[in-house]
Amino acid sequence: MNTAGVDLNLLYAFQAVHAEGSVTRAAERMGVSQPTVSHALVRLRRLYRDPLFVRTQGGMAPTAKADRLAEAVRHALHVLDAALQEGTRYDPAASDRAFRLHMSDIGETVFLPRLLQVLAERAPNVRLETYQFDDKDIGPALASGRIDLALGYLPALSESERTALLSEHYVVVMRAGHPLASRAPTKAALARLGYAVVRSHGATARALQDLGLSGNIRLSMPHFLVLPRILAETDLAVVMPARLSDVFRALGDYAVWRPRVGLPAFDVSVHWSRRYAGEPGTRWLRELVVDLFGEK
């Protein structure tokens, strides 16, 4: 099958049913009648020679082929919507656009609560989708329009535009009752700790390596936010950004070391592709991010 026979409205209907898992909710989301969506599904099934969605007790479940198509359809419609809006004024209060952001779990913790509060006030129907790409994939995702912005400490992104938001530094966190918690954070004291590291934030492991402490790593895991209980119930320590340590201290009783040697400072920035720098919606969102989180 070639794309010549595909009406764009069919793709919007496909996207809505895939997202909602219901023909009724998809129709409500699109502002059309339920028979209109059902007719679109009939045409799509003929075009793709696949059921695409099957009825289950929980709603309309996508077939394997529908799941494979879903990401391509979302990407294509997102790029098309951005192109059609080029050169027009973006009205956030009237928009129902879905913006796509790369953020680590640290970024989600630091940025999302405040950002969502402001969007609820200024752009109540705007949606956010967050992704976590490998470093090598962030640039291509920005350049292709797969994501609109990337937030974080991303030194490998050399081809993107960026604005620095804030300066950050690393601290060492452990439970308040840790046997070394009351010690001064000297290099010798750092060497007595066992560490957990988070693979999605490789700079912390590199900082330990620069200190000659790679051999002190006792646990490697994918995300920061599963660590509070581990720290509370073991004698492991974690190197993390200072702002994240504030979140940890709100969750429990933790000690924070602020060593003066060996743990580098770094800038957290918002990045975007030069190709989409003038797109009104993306420009509005990045200016909002800079306004909310940029250090004055």
The answer to whether 85 and 279 have CB atoms below 8 angstroms apart is yes
How many Cα atoms occupy the beta-carbon half-sphere of 67 within 13 Å?
6
The number of distinct structural domains making up the chain is 3
Amino acid at 243: R
With cut-offs at 50, 70 and 90, classify the pLDDT of residue 5.
Answer: low
> In terms of domains, do 10 and 72 share one?
yes
Q: What is the pLDDT of residue 82?
A: 65
Of 113, 123, 106, 77, the closest CA to residue 266 belongs to 106
Which CATH number is 76's domain given?
Answer: 1.10.10.10
Show which of 53, 85, 117 is a domain's final residue.
85
CATH of the domain at 160: 3.40.190.10
pTM for the model stands at: 0.67
Identify whether residues 132 and 276 lie together within a single domain: yes
- Of all residues in the chain, the percent with pLDDT exceeding 70 is 95
Number of H helices, E strands in the chain: 11, 11
111 and 150 within one domain: yes
pLDDT in tens, 222-277: 877 788 889 999 999 999 888 888 888 888 899 999 987 777 788 899 999 988 88
Measured distance CA(237)–CA(208) in Å, rounded: 12
Taking only the tens place, the pLDDT of each residue in 6-24 is 577 888 888 888 888 888 8
Domain match, 278 and 136 both:
yes
pLDDT at 201: 78
Residues 138 and 278 in one domain: yes
Domain extent at residue 24: 3-85
Instruction: Note the pLDDT of residue 237.
Output: 96
Same domain (yes/no): 68, 108: no
Distance CA 171, CA 263 (A): 8
Give the single-character DSSP code of 222.
S
- Calculate mean pLDDT across residues 37-44: 88
Task: Name the least confident of 9-13, 151-155, 291-295.
Answer: 9-13
pLDDT at 1 over 50: no
Q: Clarify whether residues 271 and 134 are in a common domain.
A: yes
Q: 240 in helix, strand or coil?
A: strand
How high is the mean pLDDT of the chain? Answer: 87
CA-wise closest residue to 166 among 255, 260, 290: 290
**288 and 149 co-located in one domain:** yes
